[in-house]
Amino acid sequence: MSRSSLRKRDESFWKRLSALQLLVRHRAEGQAGPWTTRRVGMSLEFAEYREYYPGDDFRYVDWNLYGRLDRLFVKVFHREENIPVYVLIDTSQSMSVGEKLSYAGELAGALSYIGLKDMNRVGVFAFARALVQGVPARSGLSHLQKILSFLEGLQPNDRTSLSTALEEFSKLPVRRGLVVVLSDMLDPAGYEQGLFHLLIKRHEIALVQILAPEDLEPPIHEVARLVDSEGLGEFSVSAGAVARYRQRLLQYEHGLETFCRTHQIRHKVLSAARPLERALFEDLRGVLFV
């Protein structure tokens, strides 16, 4: 990645990151972790009484209750679980425009750190036309080095196919968890099909759409030869076309926003020119972080 790597960040940056906590809204299943679920477990937090069945651990029988009611009840506690976090990063050629890929890589690294320091299992997967490669979900901060090395080795390649890539991910034998998609979401075939695959698997989805400044305001002053980054064609336009392009981009964004709101997908648009600190500590609060 041409952008300055996360490894060069100073200590204060990591300290500030430590203060952040991933925002998880729905039930998930996993190993013991910082999130208390309604599943019966072994935490210290009392949940309810349940009638004793043979085989239950006698240690959880409430003998005081037995003395009063002359029936056996066992105490049930909440179970503390961790949530698997899957970061899906778009590495298609379109992410090469305006250093979106490097920006997404840094964002993915920071997300991984936040997930790992809270004892979550974090996995990172790259996709373009299909799921390309990835780092399986593991817990422990030692896993971060592997993730960072993986992110630094990412190169833009191939066309985007959100539907194929996300379908492939949904078929992976992974537990349901928080799926963070880092992409420009610019796919001529649409994004709905891919996101449906994730929703079917009951993943909690957070969509961070990264757009380059060139995507928002194409620098066309007079006449320009437009070349698609993914090789979909090229033609010439004049500066007058910029206004119409803006209109279509807004319509596209509006459709995506509506879709996300309908399906309870968290969605945030970021400019790749936005400083990473401001994106992490300001823009993504309430979307990705508590």
Partner 1 sequence: MIFLSAWAFGLLGVASVIALLYFLRRREERLVVSAIWLWEEEHERPRSALTLLWTKIWLLLVQLAALAALVFSLAEPTLTREFIGGGTLALIIDGSASMQTAEQGKTRYELAIARAAELIEQRRPNRLTIIQAQQSPKLLVPLTEDRPRALFTLKASQPTLQGDAKPSDILELVRSQGGLENFHEVIYISDHAPALPIPWVSVGEPRKNLAITGFAARPVPDGTSQAIVWARVQNFSSEALEGTLKLFAEETEIHQERISLGPGEQRSVEALAPLYTRFRAVLDVIDDFAFDNIRYSVIPRRPQLKILWLGERNFFLMRALSTFAEVSTQTDETASYDLVIAHNTAIRPVGAVLLINSVAEPWVVRAGSISEPGSLQVLVPGHPLVQHVRGEHLRPTTLSGAQLAPGVQTLIASGDQPILAAYRSQGLRFVYLGVDLKSSPLVLTPSFPILIRNSIYWLIPELGLPSERFVSDEFATLGFADQAAINLDPTESEINRLGSPSFVPQESPTRETKSQIYTPIWYLGAWAAFVALAGELLWYYWGVFRRRRWSYERAP
Applying CB under 8 A, does 249 fall inside the site for partner 1?
yes
Distance CA 45, CA 36 (A): 9
Give the interface segment with partner 1, choosing from 10-18, 117-125, 142-150, 237-245 (CB under 8 A). Answer: 237-245
Applying CB under 8 A, does 287 fall inside the site for partner 1?
no
Based on its alpha-carbon atoms, the radius of gyration of the chain, rounded to whole angstroms, reads 23
Distance CA 200, CA 198 (A): 5
Which residues 66-125 are close enough to bind partner 1 by CB under 8 A? 94, 97-98, 100
Nearest to 122 by CA among 105, 149, 144: 144
Structural contact between residues 33 and 78, judged by C-beta atoms closer than 8 angstroms:
no
Applying CB under 8 A, does 31 fall inside the site for partner 1?
no
Applying CB under 8 A, does 184 fall inside the site for partner 1?
yes
Of the residues 60, 245, 259, 281, which one makes contact with partner 1 according to CB under 8 A: 245
Applying CB under 8 A, does 225 fall inside the site for partner 1?
yes
Give the interface segment with partner 1, choosing from 66-74, 78-86, 126-134, 215-223 (CB under 8 A). Answer: 215-223
Nearest to 141 by CA among 159, 123, 117, 170: 117
Give the interface segment with partner 1, choosing from 55-63, 166-174, 183-191, 276-284 (CB under 8 A). Answer: 183-191
Applying CB under 8 A, does 238 fall inside the site for partner 1?
yes
Least distance between partner 1 and beta carbon 161 (Å): 13
Least distance between partner 1 and beta carbon 137 (Å): 29
162 Cβ neighbours under 8 A, 6+ residues apart: 183, 185, 187, 189, 190, 191, 193, 194, 195
Applying CB under 8 A, does 217 fall inside the site for partner 1?
yes
Give the interface segment with partner 1, choosing from 17-25, 41-49, 63-71, 210-218 (CB under 8 A). Answer: 210-218
What burial letters (b/e) apply to 134-167, b meaning 16+ CB within 10 Å? bbebbbeeebbeebbebbeebebbebbbbbbbbb
Count of C-beta atoms within a 10 Å radius of residue 19: 10
Site size for partner 1 (CB under 8 A): 43
Least distance between partner 1 and beta carbon 212 (Å): 7
Distance CA 157, CA 134 (A): 15
Interface with partner 1 by CB under 8 A: which residues?
94, 97-98, 100, 184, 186, 188, 211-212, 214-229, 232-238, 240-241, 244-246, 248-250, 252, 269, 271
